[in-house]
Amino acid sequence: MNLGLAGKIAIVGGASQGIGYGIAQELAREGATVAITARREKDLLAAAERLRNDTGATVLPIQADCRRADDCTRVASTVREQLGGIDILVNNDGAPPLGPTLDFDDTAWAKAVEQNLMYVVRMAREVVPSMRERGGGSILNITAISTIQPYPEFALSVATWSGVIGYSKTLSLEVAKHDINVNTICPGYVETTRLQKVFASGSEPPEVVRQRLVEEVPMRRIGTPQDIAALVALLVSPRGRYITGTAIQVDGGLLRAVR
Give pLDDT, residue 259.
65
Top-confidence residue, 200 or 168: 168
Q: What global pTM score does this model have?
A: 0.95
Q: What is the mean predicted confidence (pLDDT) over 173-180? A: 98
The dihedral through the CA atoms of 2, 4, 7, 11 has a sign that is negative
Range 220-244 average pLDDT: 97
Q: Average pLDDT over the chain, rounded to whole? A: 95
Give 120-145 pLDDT, tens digit per residue. 999 999 999 999 999 999 999 999 99
Q: What is the pLDDT of residue 86?
A: 98
Which range among 35-44, 88-97, 189-198, 210-219 shows the weakest confidence by mean pLDDT?
189-198
**Quick check: 208 pLDDT over 90?**
no
Domain assignments of the chain as residue spans, ordered by start: 9-188+224-250, 190-222
Q: Amino acid identity, residue 120?
A: V
Checking if the pLDDT of 157 tops 80, the result is yes
Q: 155-164, 196-205, 209-218, 232-241: which has the minimum mean pLDDT?
A: 196-205
Comparison of pLDDT for 31 and 259, the residue scoring more: 31
Inform me whether the pLDDT recorded for 98 exceeds 70.
yes
Phi, psi of 140 (to 5 degrees): -130, 125
Give the pLDDT of residue 197. 72
Q: 32-66, pLDDT tens digit by residue?
A: 999 999 999 999 999 999 999 999 999 999 999 99
CA angle, residues 52, 77, 12, in degrees to nearest 5: 40
Look at residue 200 and tell me whether its pLDDT is greater than 80: no
- Of residues 189 and 256, more confidence is placed in 189
- What is the fold of 9-188+224-250? Rossmann fold (3.40.50)
Alpha-carbon span 41 to 145, nearest angstrom: 29
pLDDT at residue 81 tops 90: yes
Is pLDDT of 6 > 70? yes
pLDDT for the residue 140 = 98
pLDDT at 205: 86
Amino acid 47: pLDDT: 98
